[in-house]
Structure 1
Amino acid sequence: MASRSKSEIPVLLYGYAGPRRNIGFTFSRYNLNMEEGGSAPEEMLFIYEEDFEYLKPAVARVFPVANPFTGEEQTSLDPCWENPIPKSLWESILSELEQQRVRDSELQDFLNQFISWARNHLRTADGIEITGNL
């Protein structure tokens, strides 16, 4: 992961080499018990859109998803808004990513780091929300 100060959101990079603050997705854990508060920036993860393309097929397969807060059905991943995905569906996403074998060792390392980050956060969360900034 790229270096950062404690109050910044960590960035997971694979191939993106453009300017900082570009288009991408922020991953943060959520709990249905609102009293627990949100994630601190250093607990989140940012992935640039170009690098997210390697995760997107596995994420897209779990849609449609019922929003656990509103009950509304989200038919597809929204690159402009919040996409809360429950823990049960993350198991499917992470399993697919773990089974995906690639020849590029840097891409495999990127995938492994993401899987590790997600599994670590899902131990104490009800799900992970993907928020696009398009």
Structure 2
Amino acid sequence: MRNLHLVNNGWSVILPVLALPFAAFLMKQFSQTVPNELLEAGKIDGCSELALFARLFVPVVKPGIGALAIFVFSFTWNDYLWQLIMLSDETKMTINVGISTLVSEFSANYGAQMAAATMGFIPIFVVFIAFQRYFVKGITVGSVKG
């Protein structure tokens, strides 16, 4: 990681999330719900492959993308160990790692820890509120066959 210049870099926290097997599995399951008839109708109407993807496929899988956004953001935000390993500069630490710096060997500033934990909760709450309409539909995909 040092040779790739990813230590103390925001990309060192973002890049591993792009290869999550859970994300690939969830999107595969959700893409299987897209009816082939819809894509075939788009081809008959003269859509290119890019237009099929952008105008037909993506709108149908938006609930899956929303649910995935919530899961991936939450996982990344709460991934304490990886952030602790990759971010050693205090100015670049995330709030979750920064909370651990408020504890010393002989004292703990509980007020500051609770305030920081509350501030750390706000981004996850905002992302959940933004994508909540997709969340339930995205989670229940494939659970009922019929």
TM-score normalised according to structure 2 size: 0.28
Is the strand fraction higher in 1 or 2? 1
TM-score normalised according to structure 1 size: 0.30
Task: Choose 1 or 2 for highest CA Rg.
Answer: 2
Is the helix fraction higher in 1 or 2? 2
